[in-house]
Structures are given as C-alpha cells and as structure tokens.
Structure 1
Amino acid sequence: MPGEKATVVRDVVLVGGGHSHLGVLRCLARQPLAGVRLTLISIDSHTPYSGMLPGYVAGHYRYEQTLIDLRCLARYAGARCYVDEVIGIDRESRLVLCRDRPPVSYDMLSINIGSTPHSDAVPGAAEYATPVKPIARFNERWLRLLDRVRSRPAVTTFAVVGAGAGGVEMILAMQHRLRCELRALRRSPDDLRFHLLSASAEILPRHNAGVRRCFDRLLAERNVIVHRAAVVTRVLPGSVGLSSGDSLAIDEVVWVTQAGGAPWLRESALSLDGSGFIEVRNTLQTVSDPLIFAAGDCAALVSSPLEKSGVFAVRQGEVLAANLRRLAFGQPLQDYRPQPRCLALIGTGDEQAVASRGGMYARGHWVWLWKSWIDRRFMGRLAMRSAGSGASATGSPMADLDEAQTSEARCVLAGCCLPAGWAVPATRDGSLDSFLGGPGGGATLRTSLPPDTGGASAAQAGERIRTVDFLVAPVDDPWLFGRMAAAHVLSEFFARGGEAQAAQILVVVPPGCERKIAGDVAAVCRGVDKELQASGCALTAVRTVSGNEFAVVLVTDGRPGPRAQTWRLPAGIREGDVLMVNKPIGIPTLLAAHRRFPLPGRYIDEALRLLVESNQGAASCFREHGATACIRLEGFGLPEQLTALVSRVGLAAEIDTAAVPVADGAAMALALLLPCGSRQDVHRVWGSPDRNPSEPAPERIGATLFRMGLTAGGLLASVPGARAAGCLRALRALGYTRAASIGRVRTAGSYPEHGRFLISC
C-alpha cells in the first residue's frame, strides 16, 4: 500500500476521532512507531470540534471552520483512515467489527468515541428531541431545526434539557442565532420562547457560586425560564412531561443532558460503569483488557472520576500516545494525572464568555476573544496544510521530484494487458474459502460458471469476453482497493453490453509479516468478491506473488450480451451523435497527489465514492436511449478514448472542454504535480506555452487533467442527438449527478466552434 515501506509486525487501531486520538495522531506523526501500522476508524472523515460548536450555533463561525479533517490528519501521521461505523469488538480474535467493511485486526486497540445520548430511557425523547450528541451528526439535526423555525409563522417555544455548562451555553447560542434569523426574515424575535430544564436544584452544579449567580442573572435578562429539579419523564409532539406531573407546551426539544456509552460497548465484555462508560486504570488501559485503551468521554477513570470535558480528553492524548509506544516496545507505562482544577470558558451567545476556574470567574468580551484564540490555535495545530497547496506552483516542494515520480498522476490506476497465454494457476483446495469466510466474510465460493440463460443471440453463442487487468493500489485500504479493482473490471463488460461470469485474482503483495499480509489479501479478496457477486460473477481462484507494492491482476471471463455486436468498435456512430460521460475525470490526479500531500479529506471521500460506484446503471441507461457506441474510460486520458471511438469510422469528436466534468479538488492536486511533471501533456494539447510552465494557467491545468489516466472511471457513449437530453436526465436520476454531455460527433476535417477542439485520426 502507499507509504508502507517497513515490515509491519503490529497493528494499532484507533476507534473514533475524539480529542484524545487527535493528540495520538499528532504525537505519532512526530515520532512514528517502527514496525507498527496505525489505523483510524471513524464514522465520518470530518468531525466537529466541540469547543467551537456553540460558536457555530450562535452564527460566529462557519461550519467548515469547526471541522477537523481526520483523513488529512491520518495521512499526515502515516495512518490508514477507514470511514465506517464500529459495531463491536471480538476480543478473543482481536478484531474490530464494522458495519459495512470486513473486520479489522488489531494488536493494540484504543477507543475514543465520545458519548451517546441515552434518550431511550425517556419515552418519546428519541423520536421528538434533537440530541446534541453524537457531535459528528449534530449539524444535520441543527439545520433541520433551523428550517422548521424559519417555516413556522407562529410563536416557537424551545426547551433545552440539561443545565450543565453544555446546556446553558447551547440555549444562549441558539437564542442569539434564532433571533438573528427572525430579524433577517423581518419577523419579531419575541416570537421565540426558551425554557431551560435542570434535573438538579441548581444550574451549572460543577461550577462555583459566582458563576451560577452570573448565569442566573444573564438567563433572567434574556427571558429564559429556568425550571429547577425538573426531571423530564416523557416527550410528546408539542409537549414535555415533568416528574412533578406538570406538562410544558414545547415545540422543539434539544437534548443536552448527560449521555452514556455507546450501546455496542455493552456487548464487548469490557468492564463498564453505571452509565455505560469504559472503566480504565491510570494508564488508560481498560480494567478488563491491557491491550485495549480508552480515553475521552467514553472512558471512566476508576481512581478519580472526571467531568466529561474536552480539556481532560486533550491532556489524555499525550499519555495515550506514550503508553501505546511503551506497550509496543515492552516498557513500563506511565500514569495519567488529571489537573486538579481546569479552566472552563463558557460562551454567552453574544461574543462574550464567562471564565470559570475553581472559585474564580470573570466575564466579558475579552474572555470570548481569549476562548476564540484558544480554539483557533487548537484547530491550527491540527490543520496539516501542504506547502504550496492552493498557491502558485513556483517554489513547490515537489520541485525536487523527478518525472518518474510525478508520472504517478497518469498511471496510478492505469490498467495494462499481460502477454497472451498468461493464466492464473489454480488455487489450493479451501484457500479461497479461508480468505472470503471467517468473521464478517460470509461469502460462498462458486467454482463453476453460472448456467447460460440464453441472453446472447445464437450468432454469439460460441463467443466469449475475456479481460486481463492489472491495477496498483492507489489507497491504503485493501478492502476498498479490491472493490475499485472489481468495479473497473466489470465496467468493461458493462461497456460491451456483456455479462461477467467468472474471475480469477492474482494479488501482488509487498514483503512483510505473514499474518499481516494474509489479512490484507483477505480484505482485497472480500472487496473484489463484494462487487463481483453484486453483478452475478463468481470469484473462482486466488493466488499471491511477492512484489514491491500492493497490486492485483484480475482475469475475468464472460459472455456478450444482445447489444455487444452493436457496441463493438467500429460501431454505428453517426455524425450528430452527442458524446456523454457519466462520471467526472481527474480522480487519479487526486489520489496521486494525496500520496505525497494531505489533501482535504472531502475531496478524497468523493473520489473514493466515485471509484466504487458501479457503471452498470449508466450502461443500461445508454442502451435504453439508443447509444450507438459505449467504451470504458481508461488508458492515458479522454483524448485517446475519443480517438478510438471515432477515428475508425472516419469521423471526428468536437469537445467542449468547459463541459467536461472534473472531480472536485483535481485542479488543486494537479497544481502540485504539474511543475515537475506532465509538461509534455500541456504541449500536446495546447502547443508550446507562451509563459513559464511552472506557473500554469487554469486552462492549461484543465487541459492536462483532460489527458490524465481514467481507469476506474466512468463510461463514454455516443447517443443520438434527439435522445441526448432525455438520457442525461435519466443518468442524473440514477445518481450519476456529474454526468454531462461533453461534445458531439462531426465529420473529419471540419473546423471546431469557438472554445472547442476536434479530435480525429
């Protein structure tokens, strides 16, 4: 896999992207663990920073400013990043069980997943309340609540359940933001009513009396009604029931009360406290298992219970990183010693804040500025910006790399054909079952071809489609790589109007610990098998060979479909046909740059989604709209594919480069690679540049992207002009949101329109 050079002998898995694990990633980025492979598993690739969340709710920050890019941070630390939900652990087999992917093996495990609202204990709370936690999904719930308030013309009454620091800060932030929203809509801010429900007799029970009096006055000034000793017993549409027997008419309920541990922890056989949090020793090792650590809100320190606060979680990160290192090398572990008093900075919604520490407190705008400075500094330390990113290519750190290295942008996903007569040796009995079976596998080995159901015409009965594809891993996730490889192979059959029936795989593995290699090979095979089975294709053999980097060779056999003869080149392309693609180009450019620079994770997320997105629906759509030809995008760029499509029938392709969809972030990625590579592509498409190629103009960047390799991309089809608009609407309805008409077929030798160019033989 990319970036793996040393032999891996241990796997350290971090479950969750909480504050403690952010510290672990920072520490291990500075001092990597030799022979240790680090893997982060998180339900999202971006996680909001809880310290800035009230400021976002109040409208002082954009949501993007509060996000921590976990994929980028993991890349900086040399860690694999798997975006999935953990649903359990198998301690006996040392496996982390995930919802959508195969289990992940570990030698040491750390859990930092925060807390989960236990609203199930209150009837109706899960259905009718908006929980603040888990924070990773809060923004979706908050935006829905905003929409409901904007669209409700009458008075809206809110209740925030929980009067700790989080609840008080949230109700003041909400009030500030919502009053501003109503003013913007030219409605009266007094149409909002707010209630704060405290289960105890005091608000902010963990803070000193001066802080409590300060917020009592502030809440009264802002007409927030505080209900003390008010335990919520039920939540109904439009009302909240209290333990006193009273009922409050409430339109929106926000749940900020104390949460508990994630439900799957109860099935883990780990020792938990009464709230479901993992009990840990001073070393942050769990009481039940010395190989499993826990930190942050999901952990409960047995020796001295702590308030659930990010301040403690951040401090635990350094100790956790040190103890993972010490345990890996057999050294004695150190204890985490929490500070006796911690500083709390509680926002009041209006760019002021209250500082609370021990028996002292202060309030004012300067406290807000102090809090904002601390939060921004924390985020700045986590922002791993690649030098030269988004700036001029001059002085790029890529300048010392040679052409062979930067050519990865063109060939990182490029497929190639092996010599004729090459075949995969038969696998030993049972080996494939062992790869595909086991916990989380569940695959059934099919060693014979599916029966022919008569889909091909009689003239095609004796014909077969056989493909050989070689792909180098562009990502450090073997399961995802297997899915990409299979999606690429199947696209050839979809483009030909055929059906894949059987596949054999040769996995090229780098040297390493046999147990670790076996796990990676199993993950690759499971990924391949997942995609193949979805298309009715059987994986019939697996073999491995040694190599310098992870790669696969897939040999696939199938039969042509009823449209295969029509779509075979040269096909029935006619002048006036519209050229269409169903996916954007530039994905290999993103992945190639990401191997050297931590690019924003949102770009990589979208690229990976597109790479595993099946082209089967697009192929069917093209057939239904009378496509005259269809080919898989691959090789060294779209121009070569267009040439192959039109030149054999003596026509030309007129392309509007502005209409060609490009993956988000691809131009930025190419700006990093272009100064020291790909200049010949600029010359080929645009002629000799009139200025220094190290300062590429945007159109040159677009032109180079246009020529980048497109393996594992989409399909290119020619559709009759009269049916092109309907085909495009149908593609987008199927989920191919970036599908586009990029040009049309014209006679060879004609002149292109302004802003377009011709491709012909």
Structure 2
Amino acid sequence: MTPSIPLTRDLVLIGGGHTHALVLRRWGMDPLPGVRLTLINPGPTAPYSGMLPGFVAGHYAREDLDIDLVQLARFAGARLIAGAATALDVQGKTITVEGRPPVAFDVASVDVGITSAMPALDGFAQHGIPAKPLGPFATKWEAFRANATEPKVAVIGGGVAGAELAMAMAHALRDRAPEITLLDRGRALEQVNAAARQRLLRAMAEQGVHLIENAEVRAVAEDHVLLSDGRRIASGFTTGAAGARPQGWLAHSGLDTEDGFLTVGPSLQTSDPSAFAVGDCAHLSHAPRPKAGVFAVREAPYLYDNLRAALSGGRMRRYRPQKDYLKLISLGAREALAERFGTARRGRLLWRWKDHIDRTFMAKFDALPTMQQKLPKVVAEGVRQITGDAPLCAGCGAKVGRGALQDVLAGITPHGRDDILSTPGDDAAVLRTGGATQVFTTDHLSAVTKDPVLMAKIATLHALGDIWAMGAAPQAAVLSLTVPRMAPELQRRTVGEITTTVSEVLQDAGAALVGGHTTMGDGLTIGLSLTGLLDGAAITLAGARLGDVIVLSKPVGSGTILAAEMRGQARGQDVLSCYDWMVRSNAPAARSLAQARAMTDVTGFGLAGHLAGICEASGVGAVVDLDAVPLMRGALDLAEAGVRSSIYADNRADWRVTAPDTPRAALMFDPQTSGGLLAVLDRTEAERLAAMGAAALTPIGEITEGTGVTFR
C-alpha cells in the first residue's frame, strides 16, 4: 500500500481573482504533493469582469457572471476561508482575517483586485457605489434595475470602463426613459485611439448617454451629483469607475509598492520572495501595463509554475506581457467595438466573438470533474453495495446507522448504580457527583471542511448540543484530536488554530477547555468529551404529552448540502449558508426552552429519527406538517435532484416513521451536523414563547395519541 504523503508546506492564495481561479483549476489537475493549499476570499464566488457590462445590460444572469469558488476549492483540494484578508505580515508569515486566528503561510500569493471607491469625494462613501469590487456593485445594480421607475444614473469616470457601464445601463433601462450621465474631469476615452474614440462617442449618443467632460465632481448626494460649477446632475444610482485604486491594507504589508500596488518582477514575486502578487493589485516593475484582465489571465500559467518552484526548490519562469492587446468593448446592445494597433471596428459579429471568448473562459470552471469512487477491479462481495457511486459523507453523515447502534446498546448489562440517573437512550449521562448533578457526553466528527477553524467551531457546537438538550449549563471539555500526517510546524499551526477556536467557543458557552489528546491519522477528526451542570431535573426524551407543541430551532438540510458539496454539485452560496447555520449556537434556544417537557438535538438520525426517539420514550405519537419544517437554502433543490447523504437509507428505513415519498419528506431523514434543538412544549408555554419571538423557534407539529411519527 502506498503511504500517504505528509503535508510539509502551506500555500495561501489571498483573493479569488482570475489568475488565482485558473491556478486553482490547474492545481486540481496536477497538485504538488505535500502542500496544503488555502484560498482566502470574502465570499463564495468571484465575479468575472469581462462579463460585467453584459450582466448590467441584461444579457447575462448573475449566476453567469460568478465563478463558484467553493466548488473550485473542492476540486483543487484547497480549504476555503470565507473572509476578507486585512493584513499581510511577511516577517511573521501570517495573514489576518477578521474573526479567526492568524493564517500562517510558507508561500503566499495576492490577487485581490482593485477598488474604484472615492474616499476623498464628499458623500461618495454614503451614497456612491464603486464599480469595483464587482460583487457588491452587481448586487446593488440588480436591485436598482428591478425597482427603479424613473431611473437616473450618474457614472463618474469617462474611461472605457465608465463608457461600457453607461451604455449597458442605458440599454437595460431603455423601456423606462432613463437619464444616464457620464462624467469625466477631463477628456473622455483618452485610453483608445482616435478612430475608436469617435465610434464610442457615436455609440453612447445612440444609447442616449449624456457625456459631460471637464466636469469636476464636488459631492455625491442621495439623489444627485454636485459639480464644482454648481450644476446638479440628478441620480438615484451613482457609481464610480474613475481609475484603479489599490486595496488600502497592501501599503502596510512591508512590501515594496508603486502608488499602493505591490511591486513584482518577472517571476511575479514581490520584494519578499515568499510573497507573489498578480492581477490588478500588482505593478509589473519590469514591464508596466494598464490594469486589464487579459494580463491576469495570461499570468496564470507562470504563477502556477513559479509557486510550485518556490515550494519545491525549482527554477522560476519569466513573465513577459504582450505590448498591446485586443480590446473588445461592449456597446450596451449586443454589439461591440474592437480596437488594436490603431484600428477600430464595430459590429454585432464582434459581440458574438466577445461572448464566445467570455463563455469559453467561464466554461473552464463549469466543467470540473466530480468525485468518483475508485475501487480495484476485483473486490470482496458486498464492497460495491456499501460504497456505492458516491464518496462517504463526513460529519453526522458518516455515523453508524441507528439499527447497529441500538442493537449494541440493547446488549449492555444494566449498571445497577444509584449515582447514574439516566437511561441509555438519553442525549447525555446524568450523574450524581457529591452534592451536584452533572451531565456527561462525548461526540466526535470527521471533517466536513478542510478549514480547521471552521471545523472546530462546528464540532464544538455540535458536541455542546447534547448538554443544552438536557437543560444543563456547559462546564468543562477535553479535546480529542486526529490530524493528517504533516510536518511538525504544520502540526503546531493546525493544533493551535483548533485549540484556540475550541476554547473560544466553549468560553462563549460558559465552559472551559481543560485538556486534550492528539494523534495523527488519515484525516481531520475533532471530538470532545463534555460535562454540564444541572440546577434541577434533566430534560430527557420522556415527558411529551398529548396536545403538546413540537418546535425546532434550526432548519434541516445540512447532510444533503454537504453530500452535494463533496460531489461538486452544491452552489457555493448554499454551502456557506449551511456552514453559517452549523456555527450558530443553540444557547439562546436552550435558554428559551428551559420549560420543555422533552428535548433532543437533531443530528445523525435526522429530524424523523430524533422525533421518533422522543415519541418512543414518552409513549406517544406525533404529527408533523412537512411544509412547516424550515429548510436550509438550496436543500430542497438538491433533494429534488436525487442527492442523498450516506446514512439516508438507514434513516429512511426507520419503522417508527411514516412519510410520503417526496424530496421534501426525504429531508426529514437527512442527518444533521450541529443541528437545531427539537423540543416538546406545553401549548401555553409554546404560545408564550411565540409571542416573545424567542430564539427563532418554529412550531412544526403536535403530540398525538398512538405511536410513531407521521409527516403530512
């Protein structure tokens, strides 16, 4: 058997720009063994700038514009940290991301683009919308376009980018008699040759764009732009496209800069050889060029090779950008202008050419291979039935089925101790210790994400769920940690990130991390053994009564979303939304549910299995309104597409549950990781909590006569 290769170096990509996106794709096809790859980006997607004018004009949908970085990171084997980098320390080899421990690196690359914010312009921060970064701009434009009835728009900056935006906006709003004004402090469209400038001016006039040159903007207000000569330009959507400004934090990195942009040489390395920079945030000291996406795309193969060289001791390649490049400029309608070497052409065929180029680029990220089970040609009988065609789920989706667990627990000899007050089916053991009543539980999870910090938050809150479900206050925890094989320095980084995060989450819950054990294995697994203290009697599974109301504190669907993410089928924004639910503490809900008659947390056996456990222990039945059960965003679409978690079949076979054969019903059997609290309340108490709006508790059904659970 081939031994696994230990991780020895950390490579961190800061920003999901075009160059980094292409490097991630190439890395997924040919990774460098021994490297742990990390991508830091504020959100789950990266907009492609080449298609922005077409999106603004209405030719493309928002999803056409976005590169899904969650899927791309999964393909590349990278951990994705969803947050904005705010500092880079090349001396300490760390990157600051708000809300988490510093991210350490051996080699880093920066591709964070530029901003067109105008901090010195009075009122722009409050009322203006920078054209870059593209993501926030696209979101705000989408809302304005949908709701504006008498649209008035001002674009500050009369370069090619400003002209493209102005014409695209005019085209998108053409049926509402828009007023589109393009403002430039000097002469507009100076970056192109004379022939191209004349054709662009004619195209703007045809679209109804009003150009004001030599216009000094004094201030931006909510409904107008004030010029220095006193004129007021009506505008309900004012955007800035005047030049390129660097991200402010780059200037404090200690690296050499040119006007705030990171200075790089032919190898794309900065003044510190461990840090690279590409795209618009970089200044090519050996061959200065304008900020244009074509250079970012062509830098990708050089960056990929040079990152590998820096991590493995290889030789660097020299990047030599072309002196001129073809500019394809959108003209609002499905028409474009081509400019190069002093010539200019305009026409619909040029738009079709540009559209083909852009769609071909985006197709590189839409056709990523999905994960496949790789088995030898000959295996023992039963292997293929167990593994199936999909990868084994992690988190609660990797738990052993209820049947196997119940059979084993049924064979345990009764303990006969009077200081153990719980039964085997409870969420945690209830122990009498001296004068205190203590609850004790243990839980562990295989990683659902490559980010140790995110996984530590999920695992800790997941384990705390058993304490809260018993009505106890968290007290202390011992950490049990298995990390992949890695070099000692990476071990220290990883264990440090995890223990710091676990300790912080426990402290927020009122508990303390008091010790732990570590070992190395095939993958990351985080487990905790926890104690909690009870002031009164524990809340158990038994106690539900006829007519009681069933409430749930979190939506379901995490098992399906995580299973789809492993196969590259889930949308990045749905995955990050799922993570957000998993790191949402159940502490506020637990406080609201102090008077619950029965309670548990929804984990591996799904909503159906855990509710059936309450009914079985209480000797009652339950009816649940399927439409009342809250679902995570994207979960129903995936269920309708046939996505199921590994443990779904075991959960669906529960004889205690009756449910229709529909995608929505399938989610009732979906294993949840760090799921919500499921509680049974007296109707009066449920109504009182509903009137208070307590902890987002959702009523989903009621306790009835009989046995088992029925979903309707």
- Measured against the shorter chain, the TM-score band is 0.7 to 0.9
1:98 equivalent to 2:97? Answer yes
Distance in 2, Cα, partners of 1:97 & 1:470: 29
Once the two structures are superposed, the pairs formed by residues 264-279 of structure 1 within 5 Å of their partners are 264-274=249-259, 276-279=260-263
Q: Given residue 93 of structure 1, which amino acid in structure 2 is its aligned partner?
A: G
The number of residues matched between the two structures is 671
SS of equivalent residue, structure 1 residue 340:
coil
Distance in 2, Cα, partners of 1:687 & 1:498: 29
Q: Would the alpha carbon gap of residues 590 and 159 (structure 1) be closer, same or farther in structure 2, given more than 3 Å must change? A: closer
SS of equivalent residue, structure 1 residue 599:
coil
Aligned with 1:228 (options 213, 216, 228) = 213
1:87 is matched with 86
Aligned with 1:587 (options 547, 558, 573) = 558
1:197 equivalent to 2:197? Answer no
CA contact (8 A) 1:686 1:703 kept: no
Q: Given residue 135 of structure 1, which amino acid in structure 2 is its aligned partner?
A: L
**Root-mean-square deviation (Å):** 3.3
TM-superposed deviation, 1:657: 4.1
Q: Would the alpha carbon gap of residues 675 and 481 (structure 1) be closer, same or farther in structure 2, given more than 3 Å must change? A: closer
TM-superposed deviation, 1:338: 1.3
Residue by residue over 1:379-414, the C-alpha shift from the partner in whole angstroms, topping out at 9 and shown as x without a partner, is: 11111456699xxxxxxxxx9955157553684464
SS of equivalent residue, structure 1 residue 75:
helix
Residue by residue over 1:422-468, the C-alpha shift from the partner in whole angstroms, topping out at 9 and shown as x without a partner, is: xxxxxxxxxxxxxxxxxxxxxxxxxxxxxxxxxxxx99952112222
2:621 is matched with 652
Q: Would the alpha carbon gap of residues 231 and 513 (structure 1) be closer, same or farther in structure 2, given more than 3 Å must change? A: same
1:41 is matched with 40
2:244 is matched with 259
CA contact (8 A) 2:648 2:671 kept: no
List runs of 5+ in structure 1 lacking aligned partners: 183-188, 390-398, 421-457, 689-696, 757-761
Aligned with 2:231 (options 243, 247, 250) = 247
List runs of 5+ in structure 2 lacking aligned partners: 373-381, 413-431
Per the normalisation by structure 2, the TM-score is 0.87
Aligned with 1:317 (options 288, 300, 306) = 300
Distance in 2, Cα, partners of 1:540 & 1:95: 28
Q: Would the alpha carbon gap of residues 707 and 504 (structure 1) be closer, same or farther in structure 2, given more than 3 Å must change? A: same
CA contact (8 A) 2:371 2:566 kept: no
Aligned with 1:706 (options 639, 648, 668) = 668
Distance in 2, Cα, partners of 1:20 & 1:514: 31
Compare 587-596 and 308-317 and name the one that shifted more: 587-596
Q: Would the alpha carbon gap of residues 387 and 17 (structure 1) be closer, same or farther in structure 2, given more than 3 Å must change? A: closer
TM-superposed deviation, 1:527: 2.0
Q: Given residue 316 of structure 2, which amino acid in structure 1 is its aligned partner?
A: L
TM-superposed deviation, 1:684: 4.7
Q: Would the alpha carbon gap of residues 247 and 476 (structure 1) be closer, same or farther in structure 2, given more than 3 Å must change? A: same
1:369 equivalent to 2:325? Answer no
CA contact (8 A) 2:370 2:567 kept: no
1:759 is matched with none
1:492 equivalent to 2:466? Answer yes
SS of equivalent residue, structure 1 residue 584:
coil
CA contact (8 A) 1:577 1:719 kept: yes
Compare 651-660 and 158-167 and name the one that shifted more: 651-660
CA contact (8 A) 2:164 2:332 kept: yes
TM-superposed deviation, 1:561: 3.8
1:16 is matched with 15
Aligned with 1:168 (options 140, 163, 166) = 163
Q: Would the alpha carbon gap of residues 21 and 635 (structure 1) be closer, same or farther in structure 2, given more than 3 Å must change? A: closer
SS of equivalent residue, structure 2 residue 181:
strand
CA contact (8 A) 1:413 1:710 kept: no
Distance in 2, Cα, partners of 1:589 & 1:193: 47
Q: Given residue 699 of structure 2, which amino acid in structure 1 is its aligned partner?
A: S
1:77 is matched with 76
1:426 is matched with none
Distance in 1, Cα, partners of 2:64 & 2:384: 33
CA contact (8 A) 1:124 1:236 kept: yes
Aligned with 1:616 (options 580, 587, 602) = 587
SS of equivalent residue, structure 1 residue 699:
coil
1:359 equivalent to 2:321? Answer no
CA contact (8 A) 2:606 2:651 kept: no
Once the two structures are superposed, the pairs formed by residues 541-620 of structure 1 within 5 Å of their partners are 541-562=515-536, 564-565=537-538, 567-571=539-543, 573-597=544-568, 599-620=570-591
Q: Given residue 741 of structure 1, which amino acid in structure 2 is its aligned partner?
A: P
TM-superposed deviation, 1:220: 2.9
2:609 is matched with 640
Distance in 2, Cα, partners of 1:668 & 1:53: 27
Once the two structures are superposed, the pairs formed by residues 295-444 of structure 1 within 5 Å of their partners are 295-384=278-367, 402-404=385-387, 408=393, 411-412=396-397, 414=399
Q: Would the alpha carbon gap of residues 382 and 640 (structure 1) be closer, same or farther in structure 2, given more than 3 Å must change? A: closer
Q: Given residue 75 of structure 2, which amino acid in structure 1 is its aligned partner?
A: Y
Distance in 2, Cα, partners of 1:133 & 1:304: 24
Distance in 1, Cα, partners of 2:32 & 2:250: 28
Compare 133-142 and 256-265 and name the one that shifted more: 133-142
1:663 equivalent to 2:646? Answer no
Q: Given residue 26 of structure 1, which amino acid in structure 2 is its aligned partner?
A: R
CA contact (8 A) 2:115 2:131 kept: no
TM-superposed deviation, 1:541: 1.7
Distance in 2, Cα, partners of 1:687 & 1:488: 25
Per the normalisation by structure 1, the TM-score is 0.81
TM-superposed deviation, 1:658: 4.8
Q: Given residue 630 of structure 1, which amino acid in structure 2 is its aligned partner?
A: M
Q: Would the alpha carbon gap of residues 205 and 579 (structure 1) be closer, same or farther in structure 2, given more than 3 Å must change? A: same
Q: Given residue 89 of structure 1, which amino acid in structure 2 is its aligned partner?
A: L
Distance in 2, Cα, partners of 1:489 & 1:682: 24
TM-superposed deviation, 1:133: 1.1
Distance in 2, Cα, partners of 1:135 & 1:345: 19
1:294 equivalent to 2:277? Answer yes
Once the two structures are superposed, the pairs formed by residues 113-132 of structure 1 within 5 Å of their partners are 113-132=112-131
SS of equivalent residue, structure 2 residue 173:
helix
Q: Given residue 160 of structure 1, which amino acid in structure 2 is its aligned partner?
A: V
TM-superposed deviation, 1:686: 11
Distance in 2, Cα, partners of 1:34 & 1:618: 45
SS of equivalent residue, structure 1 residue 163:
coil
TM-superposed deviation, 1:377: 1.4
1:718 equivalent to 2:702? Answer no
Residue by residue over 1:252-278, the C-alpha shift from the partner in whole angstroms, topping out at 9 and shown as x without a partner, is: 42111112111111110111112x111
CA contact (8 A) 1:482 1:526 kept: no
CA contact (8 A) 1:8 1:37 kept: yes
